[in-house]
Structure 1
Amino acid sequence: MIRPVAVIGAGPFGLSTAAHLRARGIPVRVFGDLMVSWRDHMPAGMLLKSTPAASSLDCPQAGHTLADYCDAAGIRRLVTDEDIIPVETFIAYGEWFQQQLLPDLERVRVVSVDRDRSGGFALKLDSGETFTARAVVVATGLSGLDHLPAELAGAAADGPAPTAPVSHSSQHHDLTRFAGKELIVVGAGQSALETAVLAAEAGARVRVVSRGRGRVDFGEPPWRQPGLRPESPFGRAWSLWALSYYPHPYRFLPERTRHYLVRRVLGPLGAWWLRDRFEGRVQVQEVDRVLAAEARDGSPVLTVRTHAGGTERLCADHVVAATGYRVDIAAMDFLGHGLRTRLAVSRGTPRLGAGYVSSVPGLYFTGLPAASSYGPVMRFVCGTEFASPRLAGHLAAAHG
């Protein structure tokens, strides 16, 4: 009996990878809650920052792009750079992609993965089933990777939560809970700015606190993009073009450079279409840094250092930390201790070789955990175009 490949995760990277593996005739079992990060951990009413051209799941068969879904669903085609994608449409597209190509998705959780004696992998599911896979692809997306800076943790003794003084932006689907409240959003990226706008539109009084060099700014609309530079999914620039279409040599850069570029390239910047909704509705306070946070009578108080060198206390009913995500193998507790200790890591992220394979033969990572090896494009859906066929090709050659 041919052992299957296990794909853990049913978001864009998991679905795309599984479609490529299946197209090669490789038996695949896919596990996870379909599009869960997009459905449960993004705010209702959110619009995608990425353009339609950068928002299709890569697939070896024609007819499965976002535009194809629009045609099948009988809705207006989203194809130009000026077309903005509602998150609900993107979720529906992922569900359609799964129904078309991976109808046997198993909506169960993988409890543990470890090496077995035959050189494969022993998996246990929360259904109680155990089985052996010849290879494992970890495509768990943002799950468990939300990052709360240490300076904010003082106001969240039991961890960030919607009912605590401090929460993470990923913990909010319905922002109407803040109607009539004073809300501070810490951050300056798209997540922070759009969370602030949606909360303000729901009736909250919102202040964005940006730190350090993270000044609040917005991108240029498509018609103002420079015309003499190559196009990329993220705008016109030689660096963005290279990082999008030629990330092959990225993993050979010095470790410090790789991690710096993942943080800084396509860093904090609001979408061009958000500016008009933001300005005049959301207050902005730019500070040097947040020094500490505490809870007083159930409400958060931030102590910040201003750019002038002084300190100030900021009070609100709640603080939302739109402070992004940080990959840490230690947070992937479904990976057995033996596997985690054998993995070569770089600042908590798996160090990947050709074809997205880790230092443990047969164990692959794709999506955000691959960004430190293959660059910032792995933070975005369009990264499936590069990652999925190469991962599937390497796996087929190594385990065919």
Structure 2
Amino acid sequence: MIEPVAVIGAGPFGLSTAAHLRGRGIPVRVFGDPMVSWRDHMPAGMILKSTPAASSIDAPQPGHTLADYCDAAGVRRLVTDEDLISVETFIAYGEWFQQKLLPDLERVRVVSVDRRTGGGFELKLDSGELFAARAVVVATGLSGLAHLPVELAGAAVDGPSATGPVSHSSQHHDLTRFAGKELIVVGAGQSALETAALAAEAGAQVQVVSRGRSRVAFGAPPWSQPRLRPESPFGRAWSLWALSYYPHPYRYFPAQVRHYLVRRVLGPLGAWWLRDRFQDKVRVEEVESVLGADAPDGAPVLTVRTHAGATRQLAADHVIAATGYRVDIAAMDFLGHELRTRLAVSRGAPKLGAGYVSSVPGLYFTGLPAAASYGPVMRFVCGTEFASGRLSKHLAAAHG
């Protein structure tokens, strides 16, 4: 019996990779709850920042794009750059994709992955089952990677919590709980600005605190972008075009350059359509830095340094840290200790070679953990178009 490939994760990258592997005739077992991060860790009412062209999950055969889902579901087609995609629509699309191409997906959790002495891997499921896999693809998305800056930890001694003084934006699905409350949102990216707008629309008094060089700003609408620059899924710019369609050489850049580009390219910027919902409804405090946080009576107080060099204190009923995600192999505790110690890493992220394989033969990473090796496009759904076919081709050649 041929041992299967195990794909851990059922978000866009996991589903796309598994579909491509199956399209090559490779036995696959896929584990996870389809679209769970989008369903449980994104706020209700959220609109995707990406355009329809950048929001299709790549499949090995035609007929599985976002537009195809709209046709099948009998809803309005989403095809132009001005069409907005609700998170509810995108979740339904991902579930439709899974049901069409991976109907035997297993809604169980992988507890551990370890190397076997004779090659391949042994996986343990929370059902108690042990089984062997010839290769493993880690596509766990944002799970366990929420980042809380150390400056905010003083008001979150037990970690960020939706019911405590400080939380992470990924811990909120329903923002109506802040109606009538004073809320501080730390950050300047789309997550921070949209969380703030949704909370304000729910009746909260919201203040956004942006730090350092990150200033609150919004992108240009599609009809205002320069036409003489090449088009990419993220807008018209030579850098965006190159990183979207030609990420092949990215992994050869010096580590410092790669990590800088992942942070800064497509960095903090609100979507063009969010501007009117945000301005005049959310207060903005742009500061040099957050020095610390405390919650003496259960209510958080931030100490900040302004750009003029003064120190101020900002108080609220709750603070949401919309401070993104950090890849850290140490947080992927389902990977056995021996596996994690053998993995070559760069600032917590796995170093990947051709075909998304790690330094441990047979162990692959895709999605956000691959961004440090293949660039910012791996942070977005459209990255499946580049990643899934190449990963499945490499895996088929190495383990066919």
Q: TM-score range by the shorter chain?
A: over 0.9
Pairwise CA distance, 1:60: 1.0
CA distances 1:112-162 after superposition (whole Å, capped 9, x unpaired)? 000012200000000000000000000000000000000000000100001
Equivalent position of 2:380 in the other structure: 380
Equivalent-residue separation in structure 2 for 1:334 and 1:206 (angstroms): 38
The answer to whether residue 58 in structure 2 is matched with residue 58 in structure 1 is yes
Task: Calculate the aligned-residue CA RMSD, in Å.
Answer: 0.3
Letter of the 2:209 partner, please give it.
Answer: V
Partner of 2:266: 266
Structure 1 residue 185 displacement after superposition:
0.1
- Alpha-carbon deviation of 1:180? 0.2
Name the CA distance, whole Å, in 1 between partners of 2:19 and 2:103.
Answer: 11
Distance 2:240 2:118 in 1: 43
SS in 2 for 1:218: coil
**Deviation at 1:339?**
0.2
Q: Which residue of structure 2 aligns with residue 251 of structure 1?
A: 251
Q: What are the within-5 Å matches in structure 2 for residues 123-272 of structure 1?
A: 123-272=123-272
* Aligned equivalents of 2:254, 2:98: Cα separation in 1: 38
Tell me how far apart the structure 1 counterparts of residues 258 and 120 of structure 2 sit (CA, whole Å). Answer: 31
How far off its partner does 1:315 sit?
0.2
Q: How much does 1:299 deviate?
A: 0.2
Identity %: 85
**Distance in structure 2 (CA, Å) of the matches to 1:12 and 1:226:** 31
In the alignment, the residues of structure 2 paired with residue 220 and residue 392 of structure 1 have an alpha-carbon distance, to the nearest angstrom, of: 37
| 2:69 equivalent in structure 1 | 69
Report the counterpart of residue 286 of structure 2 in structure 1. 286
Amino acid at match of 1:204: A
Secondary structure of the corresponding residue to residue 290 of structure 2: strand
Paired position in structure 2 for 1:17 = 17
1:141 match: secondary structure: coil
Output the CA distance in 1 between the equivalents of 2:3 and 2:103: 19
- 1:59 is paired with a residue whose SS is coil
Per-residue deviation, 1:33: 1.1
CA deviation profile, 1:260-286 (whole Å, cap 9, x unmatched): 000000000000000000001000000
User: What is the DSSP-based 3-state SS (H/G/I as helix, E as strand, rest coil) of the residue aligned with 1:381?
Assistant: coil
CA distance in structure 1 between the aligned counterparts of 2:19 and 2:228, rounded to whole angstroms: 36
SS of residue paired to 1:70: helix
CA distance in 1, matches of 2:282, 2:348: 36
Instruction: Report the residue type matching 2:34 in the other structure.
Output: L
In structure 2, how many angstroms separate the alpha carbons of the residues matched to 1:266 and 1:347? 20
Aligned length: 400
Secondary structure at the aligned position of 1:299 is classed as coil
The amino acid across from 1:133 in the alignment is: A
Q: Which runs of 5+ in 2 are unaligned?
A: none
Which string of whole-angstrom CA distances, capped at 9 and with x for unpartnered residues, describes residues 281-339 of structure 1? 00000000000000021100000000000100000000000000000000000000000
Q: Deviations over 1:55-90 (max 9, x none)?
A: 000001110000000000000000000000000000
| Aligned equivalent of 1:109 | 109
The aligned amino acid for 1:66 is L
Secondary structure in structure 1 of the residue aligned to 2:18: helix
Instruction: Find the counterpart in structure 1 of residue 391 from structure 2.
Output: 391
Structure 1: give runs of 5+ residues left out of the alignment: none
Query: Partners in 1 of 2:83 and 2:339 — Cα distance?
Result: 44
What is the deviation of 1:8?
A: 0.1
Distance 2:36 2:296 in 1: 34
Matched residue type, 1:382: C
What secondary structure, in the 3-state scheme, does the structure 2 residue paired with 1:263 have? helix
- Distance of 1:306 and 1:324 partners within structure 2: 22
Q: Distance in 1 between matches of 2:69 and 2:263?
A: 32
Distance 1:61 1:374 in 2: 24
2:144 counterpart SS class: coil
CA distances 1:30-66 after superposition (whole Å, capped 9, x unpaired): 0001101100000000000000000000001110000
Q: C-alpha separation between the residues in 2 aligned to 1:291 and 1:39?
A: 34
**TM (normalized to structure 1)?**
1.00
Q: Which amino acid aligns with 1:51?
A: T
Q: Distance in 1 between matches of 2:33 and 2:300?
A: 33
- CA distance in 1: counterparts of 2:153 and 2:384, whole angstroms: 34
SS at match of 2:291: strand
